[in-house]
Amino acid sequence: MNVEALLDMQKKLDEHIEEEHGLKQEDLIEKKILALLVEVGELANETRSFKFWSKKPSSSKEVILEEFVDGIHFILSLGIEIGIMQFDLGETNYTNEDVSKQFLEVFKEVNHFAEERSVEHFQQLFRHYVYLGELLGFSHEEVFDAYVKKNEVNYNRQKEGY
């Protein structure tokens, strides 16, 4: 996955949003952290991986992928906030195969990043989130392509006064 290309696209989108909404001087990191937590929760809800009491199936792969990519947007944006403009994803050699447990790992990593906004915590968060995507059945190419599409949707939403 070309993370640098994603970071570049995200930086341009963030700059556009900040300009459009007069937020150039605002510290948005805490709002972005909260937005990410909400997006991860929405993703979990669409997968229904934790809903042991329900027989209703998960949402379609397309819906889950779009929710997943929403999280990628906010993770990248948080990385940009701490000065990251290049990042080698490397291998996500985690052994956990339980999607619900991986959601908990992602929440834990978001909280670690919130407490200490370091490159190391960003890297762990990003890698755990990408691994969650792998567990959900998404290839890196699918994630990249879906990100590009959603990035365009986000620009269009800004033009339409979203």
Q: What is the pLDDT of residues 78-108, one digit of tens each?
A: 999 999 988 888 777 788 899 999 999 999 9
Distance CA 52, CA 59 (A): 15
Q: How confident is the model at residue 156 (pLDDT cuts 50, 70, 90)?
A: confident
Cα distance between residue 36 and residue 39, in whole Å: 5
Note the pLDDT of residue 131.
96
CATH number at residue 67: 1.10.4010.10
Range of the domain at 127: 3-159
Cα separation, 7 vs 39, whole angstroms: 19
Band the pLDDT of 36: cuts 50, 70, 90. very high
Answer whether 149's CB lies under 8 Å from 142's CB: no
Give the residue-averaged pLDDT of 135-144.
Answer: 96
pLDDT at residue 152, as a whole number: 87
Joined tokens for residue 59: 């949402």
Residue 147 CB coordination number (10 Å): 22
Under the banding of pLDDT at 50, 70 and 90, the label for residue 62 is very high
Domain total of the chain: 1
Mean pLDDT, residues 99-124 taken together: 97
Task: Sort 128 into a burial class: Cβ within 10 Å, 0-12 / 13-18 / 19+.
Answer: buried
Residue 89 CB partners (closer than 8 Å, separation 6+): 1, 3, 126, 127, 130, 140
Averaged pLDDT for residues 105-128:
97
